[in-house]
Amino acid sequence: MSTSHIAYAVIGGTGLYQLQGLENIERVALDTPYGKPSGDVVCGDFHGRRFAFLARHGESHSLAPHRVNYRANVHALHQLGVGAVIGVNAVGGIREDMGPRVLALPDQIIDYTYGRLNSFCDVEGAEVQHVDFTEPYTASLRKALLQAAERAGVPVVDGGCYGATQGPRLETRAEIARMRRDGCDLVGMTGMPEAVLAREIGLPYACLSLVANWAAGCGDAVEISLDEIFAHLAAATAEVPKILAELP
């Protein structure tokens, strides 16, 4: 199977290690100028279109958020010539309407991460790019995902601000209170630098956030249960292929 003309690439986060329904599969091992990606890119046919899938943390979830080679992941998809990238991210909910099992398409992001290699410019001899990041997610791709979700009958919250933290630990109640004051509606660990790298390299990019738990101090829970996180995440993840199947 040829890997050319791939309409969409999906970068799967925690709980999404393969794309159910992908057929005629070819695993592509790639190397990039920035090292190796998190694993093989799995290419195949999905509801009449060509898709590529990459597990952000590796298929065995062996890479912590701060150790993911985001540059290699994004560059590998660029090498394959994909048309657009959808980052699927497990997150915590801060805003009242973003509780567990909610799916959301944020339209803004605040970066609280540190020490990550966050630009393709950060190599000797590379031309420095000052990309416009006013709107961090591609409007046309967000619209396509919202319309696909509507056709699929899957409720999705339109908009919101994603706060990207370092991880792998979860946040303190005080940290989430600060993020709420900053305007964050969701909190996750992998939204950056993935989004800005896609912008630098010219790939349309959007984030589909899956709420796995209330963030610290939000909702009714006194303590965050990992068992509950994985149960909520499994339920939300099951909705993702339904949306992707309706993309144009």
Q: Which residues are annotated binding-site positions for phosphate?
A: 14, 56-57, 190
Amino acid at 6: I
- Binding site for substrate, by residue number, is 189, 213-215
- Read off the DSSP letter of residue 2: -
Task: Give the span between the Cα atoms of 12 and 76, in whole angstroms.
Answer: 15
Q: Where does the chain show beta strands of DSSP type E? A: 8-12, 23-28, 41-46, 49-55, 84-93, 103-105, 108-111, 157-158, 161-164, 186-188, 205-214
- Binding site, by residue number, is 14, 56-57, 189-190, 213-215
CA distances from 244 to 127, 150, 224 (A): 35, 11, 30
Task: Give the span between the Cα atoms of 171 and 8, in whole angstroms.
Answer: 32
